[in-house]
């Protein structure tokens, strides 16, 4: 089984509803399981709730999904997007495209179920909030840590920007990513939902990556998720508890 999932806490499901709808259409077209985590829910992790993608990717692989694709809630599939397993290259199991900064953008992460991919994700989770080389820093979220670990990981493959286009409006892309870059202004957002989103993004001690409260916050979100066969949370819960001690 292959899985595609996104995260939509703090009003993202309302602001980016058209993008999220495209995830369901794409999953149905190619016969994938699909999940949107956090719809209608709030999190004190604020923008750092983006980190939840890492333990959920681990849990998705532990559940036995052969391939898993994480896609940001502000990214939209086009009608021409092929099956995401088509990116497969020999001896590679972690796939990202470069964004407008020229570095891997973790708004789309494709992983094949291997021990190497699981180790890669665990390494990213373990260095949350740690000092990174300047060339790898992003400012918030997990993207800097992902950039850092991909620079060291032999199983990483940089794929076509068609899979995560966040800067070129003329590209015949598979995924158009309306992230904080050149394309965001092209997405028509509901103004009321946008104001609500801004109010929900606040500082809280749990939103400092690498802190005890941060790992506890991630663990709390996992504890709140309904049981589902697409995520096996047992091992990653133990990881988060250990990292938070």
Range from 2-16, 62-76, 151-165 carrying the lowest mean pLDDT: 2-16
> How confident is the model over 90-128, as pLDDT tens digits?
999 999 999 989 999 999 999 999 999 999 999 999 999
pLDDT at 195 > cutoff 80: no
Residue 37 has phi, psi (to 5 degrees) of -95, 130
Whose CA is closest to 11, among 142, 204, 194, 140? 194
Confidence of residue 244 (pLDDT cuts 50, 70, 90): confident
pTM of the model: 0.92
- Enumerate domains of the chain plus CATH numbers: 2-243 (3.90.550.10)
Summary mean pLDDT of the chain: 92
% of the chain surpassing 90 pLDDT? 76
Average pLDDT over residues 217-234: 95
Cα-based torsion angle of the residue sequence 139, 145, 147, 151 in order, rounded to the nearest 10 degrees: 140
Please answer whether residues 137 and 155 qualify as being in contact, where contact means their C-beta atoms are separated by less than 8 angstroms: no
pLDDT computed for residue 196 by the predictor? 47
CA distance 154 to 60: 22
**Residue 100 contacts residue 165 (beta carbons within 8 Å):** no
What pLDDT band is residue 181 in, cutting at 50, 70 and 90? confident
């Amino acid at each position: 089984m292959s899985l595609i999932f996104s995260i939509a806490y703090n009003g993202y499901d309302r602001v980016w509803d058209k993008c999220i709808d495209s995830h369901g259409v794409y999953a149905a077209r190619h016969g994938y399981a699909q999940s949107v985590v956090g719809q209608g829910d709030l999190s004190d992790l604020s923008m750092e709730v983006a980190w939840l993608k890492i333990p959920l990717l681990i849990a998705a692989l532990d559940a036995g999904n052969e391939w898993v694709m994480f896609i940001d809630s502000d990214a939209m599939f086009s009608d021409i997007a092929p099956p995401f397993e088509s990116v497969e290259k020999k001896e590679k199991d972690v796939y990202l495209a470069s964004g407008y900064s020229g570095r891997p953008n973790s708004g789309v992460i494709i992983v094949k179920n291997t021990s190497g991919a699981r180790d890669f994700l665990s390494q990213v989770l373990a260095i949350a909030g740690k000092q990174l080389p300047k060339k790898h820093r992003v400012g918030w979220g997990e993207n800097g840590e992902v950039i850092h670990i991909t620079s060291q990981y032999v199983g990483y493959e940089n794929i076509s920007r068609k899979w995560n286009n966040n800067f070129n409006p003329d590209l015949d892309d598979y995924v158009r990513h309306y992230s904080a870059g050149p394309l965001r202004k092209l997405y028509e957002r509901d103004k009321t939902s946008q104001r609500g989103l801004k109010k929900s993004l606040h500082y809280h001690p749990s939103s400092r990556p690498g802190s005890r409260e941060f790992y506890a916050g991630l663990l709390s979100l996992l504890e709140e998720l309904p049981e589902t066969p697409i995520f096996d949370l047992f091992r990653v819960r133990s990881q988060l508890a250990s990292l938070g001690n």
